Structure 1
Amino acid sequence: MDMEKKLQELKEYISSYPDFPKPGILFRDMFSLLRNPNAFKDLRDVMVEISKRNIPDAQAVVGLESRGFLFGSVLAIELGLPFVPIRKPGKLPGELNKVTYQLEYGTDTFEIQKDAVTPGLKVLLVDDLLATGGSLKAGCQLIEESGGVVAGCLVIMELVDLRGRDKISQPVFSLLEF
């Protein structure tokens, strides 16, 4: 089956919940896709194919807390690369690099272990969703401030109307667009 057809089938597994978590929001839930083992396998295969084709020189996979862990760790295993988590404050031991970034209402912080990204390491950054772009941009910034190079970003879903991609200077590959 060609990739476009496979992506279209995967999109059908995404459930939509109006007015969640608050009125006016249409929440796209990918956990319904993960409940189907065959769809999850197809998603894995597509992630691997797109990564190999577009970011072949990646030396590590970095996943953003928390759903980026689900997809990033699977991808790291399939590509034979190390997996590195970026976490919220207070979740990682040892010496850390951190970045604070702006949200719609306030700020948040990401942390990474200092020894996890070595200077010049080419990283594939993975997350579940690209919406306004704040967390993905912060992940890129944290990797670069740690000495790494973001070779590309892979997201499972992109909410195109929110234009989060415009905030990211690194290549972004999204599988499912809404």
Structure 2
Amino acid sequence: MDKKAIADAMKLKRASLLQDEKKALDHTIQKHLMFELEPFDSIALFASFNHEVNLWPVIEGLWKQKKIYLPRVNGKTMDFYRVQSREDLRESSFGILEPKEYCEIVCKTCIDIIVVPMLAFDLNLYRIGYGGGYYDRFLKDYNGYALGIAYSFQAIDYIPIESHDVKCDNIMTEKEKL
């Protein structure tokens, strides 16, 4: 199966989760993630979208304790910006909440850990995203810790790897951290 077919199948699987089931899976991942993020001060997360693991309780729980950064797409690049409340966010043309223009951009070297969204992953820690390559380009020369977040059912045996693909340092699900 090619990447697009895998991505499409995983979008359907995520969308088919019952609300109560998704909430329970999200809650377990949120608890694990809060523990995992404890030693880090500068944390890049993502604004959950399109049936992704709900990170809002984590984001809102850390705003006052840590430096929290969320991504904004600028053409072909993605940069991270400091956010301190929902007031710092606006909806993008894709329907994703992004930092407003006045938010402070952060350099890659200032981010201790980046939590990476994904549609699918394999045991070699490679992932499939939405196909824009934004995270692969960002992670290419990132020297911090990249932690992928997904549901365990998003695991597949093998991701077809291309030269531009960058793997995560670890992947966390409701069941385990790889």
TM-score w.r.t. the length of structure 2 is: 0.50
5+ residue gaps in structure 2?
82-103
Contact 1:68 1:127 (C-alpha < 8 Å) held by counterparts: no
2:149 is the counterpart of 1:150:
no
Higher helix share: 1
Corresponding residue for 1:11? none
Letter in 2 for 1:31: A
- Cα displacement (A) at 1:117: 3.0
Matches within 5 A, 1:1-178: 27-28=9-10, 29-33=13-17, 36=19, 38-58=20-40, 59-63=42-46, 66-67=49-50, 71-80=54-63, 82-87=68-73, 89-90=74-75, 109-113=76-80, 115-118=104-107, 119-131=109-121, 133=127, 135=129, 139=135, 141-142=137-138, 145=141, 149-157=144-152, 158-163=154-159, 167-175=166-174
Report the identity percentage: 10
- Cα displacement (A) at 1:138: 5.3
Contact 1:60 1:124 (C-alpha < 8 Å) held by counterparts: yes
- Cα displacement (A) at 1:32: 2.8
Q: Secondary structure at the match of 1:153?
A: strand
- Cα displacement (A) at 1:45: 1.5
- Cα displacement (A) at 1:84: 0.2
RMSD (Å) for aligned C-alpha atoms: 4.3
Higher strand share: 1
- Cα displacement (A) at 1:142: 1.0
Contact 2:29 2:173 (C-alpha < 8 Å) held by counterparts: no
Q: Larger relative CO (CA 8 A, sep 6+): 1 or 2?
A: 2
Provide Cα deviations, 1:96-130, integer angstroms capped at 9, x if missing partner: xxxxxxxxxxxxx4422574434332223131423
- Cα distance in 1 for residues equivalent to 2:51 and 2:117: 4
- Cα displacement (A) at 1:68: 8.1
Number of residue equivalences:
134
Letter in 1 for 2:147: G
